[in-house]
């Protein structure tokens, strides 16, 4: 669940800023972000946010936004799995809108190449170094077969025994929703194993392995393998920056009573 909350925060902030827009359910007159390609059947944890929100509302109604809850839950989930903590600035308000089209266009996908990743993160104000650090969130969590099938059956820069082991749960046809850990070494621990996997050609997504494939980010991957503390620090700092992406503040937006719908 920790990975789900981290992904939820990332997929929220990269669209309209950290405004809980991803939490809004579709209605007869409104289409939100949940059915966007990068989100549908992929982003989870909505029910966890619902539970936290109802508990918070019963103690101090109308005070804590859904956006703040998502940001804090993402931080706490990383800490629970062994990652470094960071300070979460509070005071975000919730948007009353969402954008399916922006979710589809701005969120980098699992088939992205290195230049695509660099530009997607650069568009949100992140350096290439910060992009590599944030990619390290794939040290936890799982992915659907649909998103890595092409890599494990068709790509050559992949360890053959690793490809075979993943193919066992991801057939060449069917089983789109079968899951595999993004980090098969230590799937439930927030550590630097993800980067070591890349060195060994064991990145699950195409967009993972491009970080270590003879390109400009190879040295960054190597440094996170040899110095895990630097990864933890860089990741925490990049998460602070991400949590501050275009928040709704002041008199804008609202404090939703129910995170799934506007008041």
Spell out a b/e string for 224-243, using b for 16 or more CB atoms within 10 Å of the CB, else e: bbeebeebbebbbebbebbb
Q: Which of 9, 11, 138, 206 is catalytic?
A: 11
11 is an active site residue: yes
Spell out a b/e string for 164-183, using b for 16 or more CB atoms within 10 Å of the CB, else e: eebeeebeeeeeeebebbbb
Give the chain's count of helices (H) and strands (E).
Answer: 12, 2
CA atoms of 15 and 107, how far apart (whole Å): 7
> Which H or E run includes 143?
strand 142-144
Residues identified as active-site: 11
């Amino acid at each position: 669940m920790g990975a789900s909350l981290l992904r939820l925060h990332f997929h929220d902030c990269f669209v309209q800023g950290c405004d809980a827009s991803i939490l809004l359910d579709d209605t007869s007159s409104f289409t939100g972000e949940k059915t966007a390609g990068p989100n549908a059947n992929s982003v989870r944890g909505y029910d966890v946010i619902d539970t936290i929100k109802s508990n918070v509302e019963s103690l101090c109604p109308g005070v804590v936004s859904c956006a703040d809850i998502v940001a804090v839950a993402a931080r706490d989930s990383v800490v629970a799995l062994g990652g470094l903590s960071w300070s979460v600035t509070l005071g975000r308000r919730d948007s009353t809108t969402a954008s399916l089209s922006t979710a589809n266009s701005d969120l980098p996908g699992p088939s992205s190449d290195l230049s695509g990743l660099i530009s997607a993160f650069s568009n949100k104000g992140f350096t290439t170094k910060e992009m590599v650090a944030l990619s390290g969130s794939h040290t936890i969590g799982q992915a659907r077969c649909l998103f890595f099938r092409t890599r494990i059956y068709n790509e050559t820069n992949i360890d053959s025994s690793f490809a075979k082991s993943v193919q066992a749960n991801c057939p060449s046809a069917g089983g789109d929703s079968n899951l595999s850990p993004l980090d098969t070494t230590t799937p439930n621990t927030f550590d630097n194993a993800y980067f070591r996997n890349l060195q060994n050609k064991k990145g699950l997504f195409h967009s993972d392995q491009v970080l270590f494939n003879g390109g400009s980010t190879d040295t960054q991957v190597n440094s996170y393998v040899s110095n895990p503390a630097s990864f933890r620090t860089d990741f925490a700092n990049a998460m602070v920056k991400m949590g501050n992406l275009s928040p709704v503040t002041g008199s804008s937006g609202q404090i939703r009573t129910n995170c799934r719908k506007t008041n």
